[in-house]
């Protein structure tokens, strides 16, 4: 039920926050002399701060339930980001920003397992264990289930909270209770360490064909890609299949570094801001792939994946196989707001070396191959028709090069 407040009650709430308004006004007066171009005018600052404080005062005094002021403040910041009406722009609280940084850097302090929620047992199932990580050293195996974290059942915590408690600062301890079929529950105390995600996985296929799957372009991706290339080249790689299917993208600098190891000297991509400022990203001539290359893309290959695919296409350095990519041709920048929170906003468009803007359009493959089954369910099998087409093409290219 909505109810209008009387003027008397309104001013009571407003007066309660008057002291804060005075401080904010003083801050605005000081900021008047250092406002950057494009910032609010002094008058707009006063109007914004006054209304902002009035709303908080009303909610704090008159709302039926008690509300944490920090929740209101974060909500106001998030609302401002939402008002842009851009799904790629958002406000991060301190905790959200820490999680975001883990994703973009590809490193976190934890126990070294990949997991999923088991609905039937209400436990966390271990899918794989990173070699030499804390879980590996403690003897945890794929298929084990984590039942408790620090003595609290994960069924009570839920997946997100349990994962948050398993993670923590490097060199600190966490105690988990592990359930293994046919054995009594095992309580283990593990010391967290820095863990790298598996951004790149690779193997040598029959016919000396190298295969690299890039799951993302986090901060660790260039190093892992370099390790993959070095390993495959030492084994005598004659051709390379690069799998970017399902790759949602990541850091622009990471994809440019990887592109630099595959392309001849020249433009990888360039960005342009609203003001027309152009920034170019280039490759040098120090490392150039000297074997045929086929790149797998699909409708879920996005952003940085499309930067790489577009650059390889425009330089005629690789053949694209699969389906048209996602079509994300815009770049975001994240600004630290000084208190641990952050703002991520779209600030530029990016273009392929030939000047194509692929946002909402995507990149068409040279060889169109649709998939009847989900890629992850049949990857690298006979049912993986895209992979089979890539194999045929790389064999053809290898034969042509040897003739």
Which residues are designated catalytic?
303, 314, 328
Burial class (CB in 10 A: 0-12, 13-18, 19+), 101: middle
Positive or negative, the Cα torsion across 257, 235, 295, 353?
positive
Q: What angle do CA 235, 241, 245 make, to 5 degrees?
A: 135
Q: CA-to-CA distance for 150 and 244, rounded, in angstroms?
A: 39
Instruction: Please enumerate in sequence order all residues whose Cβ is within 8 A of that of 341, keeping only pairs 6 or more positions apart, or say none.
Output: 74, 77, 91, 92, 93, 94, 97
Tell me how many helices (H) and strands (E) the chain has.
13, 19
**DSSP class per residue in 241-263:** EEE-TT---B-HHHHHHHHHTTS
Q: CA-to-CA distance for 119 and 124, rounded, in angstroms?
A: 9
Instruction: Decide if 380 contacts 387 (C-beta within 8 A).
Output: yes
Q: Name the strand (E) or helix (H) holding 240.
A: strand 239-243
- Tokens linked to 93: 């609280």
Q: Using N-to-C axis directions, what is the helix angle for 18-31 and 7-16, rounded to 10°?
A: 60
Instruction: Decide if 15 contacts 22 (C-beta within 8 A).
Output: no
Nearest to 302 by CA among 323, 316, 288: 323
């Amino acid at each position: 039920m909505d109810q209008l407040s009387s003027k008397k009650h309104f001013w009571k709430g407003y007066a309660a926050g008057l002291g804060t308004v005075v401080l904010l006004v003083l801050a605005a007066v000081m900021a008047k002399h250092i406002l950057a171009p494009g910032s609010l005018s002094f008058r707009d600052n006063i109007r914004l701060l006054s209304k902002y404080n009035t709303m908080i005062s009303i909610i704090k005094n008159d709302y039926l339930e008690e509300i944490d002021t920090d929740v209101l403040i974060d909500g106001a910041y998030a609302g401002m980001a939402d008002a842009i009406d851009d799904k790629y722009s958002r406000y991060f609280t301190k905790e959200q920003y820490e999680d975001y940084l883990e994703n973009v850097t590809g490193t976190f302090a934890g126990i070294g397992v990949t997991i999923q929620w088991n609905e039937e047992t209400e436990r966390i199932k271990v899918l794989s264990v990173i070699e030499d990580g804390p879980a590996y050293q403690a003897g945890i195996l794929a298929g084990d289930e984590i039942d408790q974290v620090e003595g609290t059942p994960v069924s009570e915590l839920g997946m997100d909270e349990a994962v948050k408690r398993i993670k923590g600062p490097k060199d600190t301890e966490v105690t988990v209770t592990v359930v293994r079929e046919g054995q009594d529950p095992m309580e283990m105390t593990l010391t967290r360490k820095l863990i790298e995600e598996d951004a790149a996985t690779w193997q040598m296929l029959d016919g000396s064909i190298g295969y690299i799957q890039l799951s993302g372009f986090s901060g660790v991706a260039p190093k892992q890609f370099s390790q993959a290339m070095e390993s495959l080249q030492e084994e005598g790689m004659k051709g390379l299949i690069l799998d970017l299917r399902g790759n949602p993208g990541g850091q622009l600098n990471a994809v440019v570094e990887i592109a630099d190891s595959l392309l001849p000297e020249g433009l990888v991509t360039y960005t342009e801001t609203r003001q027309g400022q152009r920034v170019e990203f280039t490759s040098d001539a120090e490392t150039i792939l000297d074997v045929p290359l086929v790149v797998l893309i699909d409708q879920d290959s996005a952003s940085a994946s499309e930067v790489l695919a577009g650059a390889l296409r425009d330089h005629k350095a690789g053949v694209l196989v699969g389906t048209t990519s996602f079509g994300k041709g815009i770049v975001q920048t994240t600004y630290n707001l000084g208190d641990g929170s952050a703002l991520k906003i779209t600030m530029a468009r990016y273009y392929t070396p030939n000047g194509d803007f692929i946002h909402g359009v995507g990149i068409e493959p040279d060889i169109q191959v649709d998939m009847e089954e989900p890629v992850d369910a049949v990857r690298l099998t006979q049912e993986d028709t895209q992979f089979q087409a890539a194999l045929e093409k790389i064999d053809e290219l290898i034969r042509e090069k040897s003739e």
